[in-house]
Structure 1
Amino acid sequence: MYQSYYDGSIKKAELKNSTFKKNEIKLKPAEWMSKVVNYAQIKNAGLAIWKLPQDNTIHILYDLDGGTKLDEVNLDDLEAGFILAPFQAAENPNIHFKTDIKGSFSLDLVNNSLDELIELQWEKIKSEEEDSIIKTNIESLHKRLKKTVSINSTSKKDYINTVKAGINAIKTEELYKVVPSKIKCVNIEETLDIADAYLKACAKYTDAFVSLTFSPTSGLWMGATPETLIEDKKNEYFKTVALAGTQVKTENNVIHTAWTQKEIEEQALVSRYIINCFKKIRLREYEEIGPKTIQAGSLLHLKTTYKVDTKALNFPELASVMLKLLHPTSAVCGIPKEKALEFLAEKESHNRSYFSGFIGPVRMYDQSHIFVNLRCCQFTSNKVIFYAGAGITIDSDPEKEWFETEMKCKVLEDIVFHT
């Protein structure tokens, strides 16, 4: 269970120096969101908006310098803020957002209270900054973005050929698993309400990490990911998750879900990958929970959680060490990692950018919640680019893998375009 940064689990002493401020202006949540994002675009600021799984608090963070590009990510060296990292750092930069301005508001997501008037609660803000946000016009959030001309959707033929090549590589034992991805570009033909789409994603995917980020470097991205990469509470615990296997949710109870041998093996490969990372640092004391069937919107996955008592082991830097070992995980890349990366570099014609990278708040009140950036899309002035991948094993059916990527793209596509 994830806890809000502002609930009773946080000691009062940790917040005694914080000054919370409520403005007296009340607007609908989507109107606030539009102003917040437009202000970031006008100021060329970095912006991160997010909701943790099983939490109804929407967090807002501005870096007025637009974010800092990092050659590598070392959690122990970062100040409190937010991290956005790509699939491959050689293609796009890691970006860290510091906390120049921080705010939040809460929604009753159970009752879907998106039409209620609310006030924003600011923890760090100057009066002139707050006034500027309030006075910012409510405009379509994609209109200030760059136009995309050269990016086109991955064709079904090309994706299936890549899957077949992956299966052949597995048969010859060059690979044990590989995760080819695709992109799906949808033209924007009318006014797009991205703020409203984000809030509806929060309401629909209550068990996901739902984010909306902007920077002059990365552009505007939205995501609703179910996969934890690292959860770390300083001097207490470390968690990571193996998540693999996908099928559509039916009317049956989740506990009665049946999984195929292919899906079970795919999930087992991810679990073994994590355990092998533990072995590399000679870590043998961990708790393994699962595998269990979990629901992420209309999709089901297999999930195993690994938890380490970092206080008992006196291993406070475990999160930084494991981040370097885990990313990119076998769930988004393949096994062996280097061979899978070579295969994907050769076969994928698109840049994954921040898809299948990692994302989340770091060192906020001594907690870091970092997620694999799945179920995400990128906005340009004329297109929305959806990203998805599927894990390929020796038992994969190319047609079914294509269908799985279509399902994954549909998670956000239906929300973005209100279908």
Structure 2
Amino acid sequence: MEREILSIKQKRLTAAAHLHKFLAFAQQLNAAVAIYRLPNESKIQILCDLSGAKNINDLNLEDLSSGFLMHPFQINIDKIVHFNADILAQIDLEISTTSTDKLVSVEWRKSPTEEIEEKIDKASRFDFTLLSRDQFTLSTSSSDYIKMVEQSIEHIKREKFYKVVPSKVKSIDHKNDINIGQAFVEACRKYPNAFVNLTFSAKTGLWFGASPETLIEEQKGGYFKTMALAGTQSKSVKSIADTTWTQKEIEEQAFVSRYIINCFKKIRLREFDEIGPKTIQAGNLLHLKTTFKVNTSTTNFPELGSVMLKLLHPTSAVCGMPKEAALDFLTKQEKHNRSYFSGFLGPVHSEGLSHLFVNLRCCQISNHSVTFYAGAGITEDSKPEKEWEETEMKCQVLSDIIFGN
């Protein structure tokens, strides 16, 4: 029997309008939704959990059903949350011609019932006023952050740790008129190499990000990958091949690579490929990246992904080294809760692939403000004022997109 209404699958709307429908649907039915675009792909993936997602106490990738994972910076403060893949859809942006006003249609990968599809179709407005208030409202001041960097350097000189990554928050008020769907599409266009993500649930709130860093990528029975990403500078008119790095930035990146190799040593894994370091571009920023790859088809280690997640997180790129001493310092010095910033997130067991990213270049949107998060890697050669400027550049990545600057 043919439907009397034109379904969302048949409707051609802007990608932003489709995304707002899924967000509004999740908000109205207390469901959870994860919207994401993998690096260098043209398709936006949409995943809905009709139960609203569930909390997980102990993470074992092998035990999870296909879905989407959000892991906080510290599990003793915030919960690990898994979104089950009850509904799957995708929108093809054709990345070379992406524009925010292009009309596109939805393709179901795992279809909802007719009743649910009709509810998605009728949903239209995500209500920012229904979001909870911020956990904090004050932005980190430059003086407070510079003081924290100075204390970090002092601890490094006293050999308490070798590197630490203090973070800050920057809150900007909004008037409930943010076009978050359009911001998502614009981020896809502007940052083709990033993992662009937009998630909402009653358990986690509304988060938006464009992360440049893979934590792990695992294809069952195929391969395992992780990366070391550190060092930051603005993109100049020079080509990437002509980019030069300071000793401080090279050393910072080497710490992260060494940390990963030490994790491999702990589990006696000796067979891996190391590719890099090389300069990569993430929007208007440049970083140093080294990729590590393991051929799991010849390694009898089915739990490698879970084991490495527990060893790697939080990495020295977001916490410091040694991890325990750096984390203790940050817990005492930072005045804000990082929540899901510098945790990790991404799809799990999606057609045999789990791809989790460090939650960087991200923000949380509340009922009256957007809170941006950023950190900088501190070594003995760091300059406090320069580290503040780096965090400002990192916050600007998303604030320019959200507020249209």
Shift of 1:140: 4.8
Q: What SS class does the counterpart of residue 298 from structure 2 fall into?
A: helix
Q: Distance in 1 between matches of 2:58 and 2:143?
A: 36
Q: Which residue of 2 aligns with 1:12?
A: none
- Closer, same or farther: CA 315–150 of 1 in aligned 2, 3 Å: closer
Residue 136 in 1 paired to residue 123 in 2?
yes
2:343 touches 2:358 (CA, 8 Å); kept in 1?
A: yes
Structure 1 residue corresponding to 2:369, chosen from 383, 386, 389: 383
Listed as ranges, the matches of 1:295-334 within 5 Å are 295-334=281-320
RMSD value over aligned CA atoms? 1.2
The residue type paired with residue 64 of structure 1 is: L
Equivalent of residue 230 in structure 2, options 209, 234, 244: 244
The residue that corresponds to 1:127 in the other structure is 114
Query: Matched residue pairs, number?
Result: 398
Distance 1:88 1:33 in 2: 30
Match of 1:278 in 2: 264
Consecutive aligned runs of 4 or more in structure 1 exceeding 6 Å deviation: none
Contact 2:128 2:176 survives alignment (8 Å): no
Distance 1:266 1:74 in 2: 30
Q: Could you tell me how far 1:118 is from its partner in structure 2? A: 1.4
2:330 maps to amino acid:
L
**Distance in structure 1 (CA, Å) of the matches to 2:177 and 2:70:** 27
**Structure 2 unaligned runs (5+)?**
1-6
Alpha-carbon distance in structure 1 between the residues aligned to 2:78 and 2:332: 18
Instruction: Measure how far apart 1:141 and its partner are.
Output: 4.6
Tell me if the contact between 2:348 and 2:355 (Cα under 8 Å) persists in the aligned partners: yes
**Letter paired with 2:121:** I
Q: TM-score, normalised by structure 1?
A: 0.93
Q: Does the 8 Å contact 2:8/2:117 carry over to 1?
A: no
Contact 1:37 1:141 in 2 (8 A): no
Task: State the AA in 1 paired with 2:133.
Answer: K
Aligned to 1:193: 179
Which residue does 1:221 correspond to in 2? 207
- 1:101 and 2:87 correspond: yes
Is contact 1:388–1:408 with CA below 8 Å preserved after alignment?
yes
Query: Could you say which residue in structure 1 is the equivalent of 2:253?
Result: 267
Quickly say closer, same or farther: Cα 1:150–1:266, change in 2 above 3 A.
closer
Alignment correspondent of 2:74: 88
Residue from 241, 247, 254 that aligns with 1:255: 241
User: Is contact 1:166–1:392 with CA below 8 Å preserved after alignment?
Assistant: yes
Take 1:413 and 1:54, find their aligned partners in 2: how far apart are those partners?
22
Q: How does 1:169-180 map to 2 (within 5 A)?
A: 169-180=155-166
Asked if the contact 2:136–2:336 (Cα under 8 Å) also holds between the matched residues in 1, the reply is: no
Once the two structures are aligned, what percentage of the paired residues are identical? 55
Contact 2:43 2:94 in 1 (8 A): no
Structure 1 Cα separation of the partners of residues 281 and 129 of structure 2:
34
In 2 relative to 1, CA 190–362 (structure 1 residues): closer, same or farther, beyond 3 Å? closer
Q: What amino acid does structure 1 have at the position aligned with 2:256?
A: V
Alignment of 1:400 onto 2:386:
yes
Aligned equivalents of 1:331, 1:149: Cα separation in 2 = 25
How far has the Cα of 1:150 moved from its partner? 4.1
> What is the SS of the residue equivalent to 1:91?
coil
List runs of 5+ in structure 1 lacking aligned partners: 1-20
Answer whether contact 1:379 1:385 (CA < 8 A) is retained: yes
Match of 1:62 among 23, 43, 48: 48
Of 1, 8, 12, which residue of structure 2 is paired with 1:26?
Answer: 12
Contact 1:57–1:106 under 8 Å retained in 2 = yes
